[in-house]
Amino acid sequence: KFMEKAASNSTTNEWTLGTVRDSLIRQEDTIIFGLIERAKFPMNSVVYDQSFARIPGFGGSLVQYIVQETEALHAKLGRYESPEEHPFSDNLPPSLIRSHNYSQFLHPAANNININKKIWDIYFNQLLPLFTVEGEDGNYASTAASDLECLQALSRRIHYGKFVAEVKYRDAPKDYGHAIQAQDRDALMKLLTFKSVEEMVKKRVEKKAMLFGQEVSLENGGSKGKYKVDPSLVSRLYGEWVMPLTKLVQVEYLLRRLD
Ligand SMILES: O=C(O)C(=O)C[C@]1(C(=O)O)C=C[C@@H](O)C=C1
């Protein structure tokens, strides 16, 4: 019994509910800084207009182009071999470098879960109009690059649900096992939800948005309640989209956990 425990600990010692939550907390910073950077630019809606781009040999918009080309470059350096990374593009080139020996913490079914299409739609149709002001300033490439940063940060955070789910499964394999065998989404959702944690997350990201997005001045007083992104919007972003999607990834993963 003891040996069994020691052996299982040695393969999982870096992954606990505490360490995966620490990573989610750190990723909040990346997401909020990304939004602050994007909010520097107005909407620049031509970036999303397929008929504006007219790039020879490419039918899509400027943002589709920068995503496709950047992901192709990153794929060549093995970015999407990491279990924490998920591309938005299909048909990426293979990695040109020696593979890193990533720890086999997740069940192999994790490889088949990628909800980036959903993240893409929500980001462009619902989030962007909330975080940017109307208008055009011509900084199209910077705008598109900044969208890609936001998309990557959101995607990484949301798909991190796979790690959260695996930790939770290992902590309570019997409870989860029953719900998985029954393929009961609602029961899984109930098991993995911690309302009090969600409330804390929403409060913390709001506070971070205040701190990171304040005007810094050497004169007394400093920030006069003017923030680079609206802190209550960041809290809403988490409550309405980021956490629900992270939970969706957890459910999708758990449903396949015993395959
Ligand atoms: O911290 C957890 O337990 C998670 O599953 C992560 C998370 C989140 O997305 O932040 C999602 C579901 C829980 O209800 C609480 C928080």
Report which ligand 1 atom has the smallest distance to the Cα of 165.
Answer: 5
Residue of 16, 31, 198, 241 to test ligand 1 pocket, by largest number of atoms within 8 Å of CB: 198
Residue nearest to atom 8 of ligand 1 (CA): 243
Residue nearest to atom 1 of ligand 1 (CA): 21
Rg of the chain on CA atoms, in Å:
20
- Spans of the chain, pLDDT less than 70: 1-13, 221-224
Is 208's C-beta closer than 6 angstroms to any atom of ligand 1?
no
Backbone angles phi, psi at 242, to 5 degrees: -65, -50
pLDDT of residue 225: 72
Is 143's C-beta closer than 6 angstroms to any atom of ligand 1?
no
Buried b (16+ CB within 10 A) or exposed e, 61-89: bbbbbbbbebbeebbeebbbeebbbbbbe
pTM of the complete model: 0.94
pLDDT of residue 223: 61
pLDDT of residue 9: 43
Please state, in angstroms and rounded to a whole number, the distance separating the CA atoms of residues 198 and 251. 17
pLDDT of residue 60: 96
pLDDT of residue 243: 98
Cβ atoms < 10 Å from Cβ of 5: 9
Residue nearest to atom 16 of ligand 1 (CA): 198
